[in-house]
Amino acid sequence: MSQKPVLESAGLDGWIVRLFETIDEGNLPWLSALSKRCEQVFGDTLIDLVPSYTTLLVVFDPITLSSSEARAMICQILVDLEPDSGVQEGQVHELPTWYDISVGPDLPRVADHTGMAVTDVIEAHSQRTYRVFALGFAPGFAFKGLIDPRLECPRLDTPRKRVPAGSVALAGRQTAAYPTATPGGWNLLGRTSARLFDRQREGFSLLRVGDQVRFVSVSRETFEREGGSSKPVELES
């Protein structure tokens, strides 16, 4: 790691660990190593790990751990942190995805924000191969990137209370698919029929850090035949 990590306060229950200033695939082994070490060291006091391509947000239980104690733990981890040599190119996954406004209600929003046609948004998103940089937020939720810079679009101002399982989305220069129904504020483009999280599967998650992913555009008929739910996203008042 060429630069010294910087810790930034994220309130009484969190610290942002900034390892890098620029986005690069070479960051992945270091961020992966930091995530694993935090899980080991913090144990039950860890609430969440929220990765980006240059930082890791460590959220802890403020009732059992003070902010200063958490900072000291992170600093100790950083003293002898080594890159995760287990992060490889990984398996290649093709996720069948039905892009449609009924299941991807933010397609028009992304198109309007980027100045592109909806069909061009779909093409740009589905023609790229993405790398899984981290798992987090929810079981099986894989942060992937980087999307075509033309598609960069901010999160929704108000997150949805419920995003259906399989929803394919983007935010900033990241993309992901929601493995289960959860709240979420990313821009929904469509839905995949792939089962991303399965308790009967070894490791539960279909995707692992280092894997490569393509969202393959399919018809509604193919999507439903492969087990996808075409129930429209409920619009919130």
Q: What is the pLDDT of residue 53?
A: 75
Q: What is the pLDDT of residue 201?
A: 81
Which is nearest to 121 in space by CA: 142, 102, 147?
Answer: 147
Q: What is the pLDDT of residue 60?
A: 95
User: What is the DSSP track for 121-153?
Assistant: HHHHHHT--EEEEEE-SSTT-EEEEPPPGGG-B
Rounded to a whole number of angstroms, the distance between the first and last alpha carbons of the chain is 47
Domains of the chain, CATH where assigned: 6-87 (3.30.1360.40), 92-225 (2.40.100.10)
Q: What is the pLDDT of residue 73?
A: 97
Please list the pLDDT of the chain residue by residue as tens digits (237 residues).
667 899 999 999 999 999 998 877 788 889 889 988 999 999 999 988 877 778 999 999 999 999 999 999 999 999 999 998 776 667 899 999 999 999 999 999 999 999 999 999 999 999 999 988 877 778 889 989 889 999 999 999 999 999 999 999 999 989 999 999 999 999 999 999 999 998 888 778 899 878 899 999 999 999 999 999 999 998 775
Q: What is the pLDDT of residue 11?
A: 93
Judge contact between 132 and 144, C-beta under 8 A.
Answer: yes
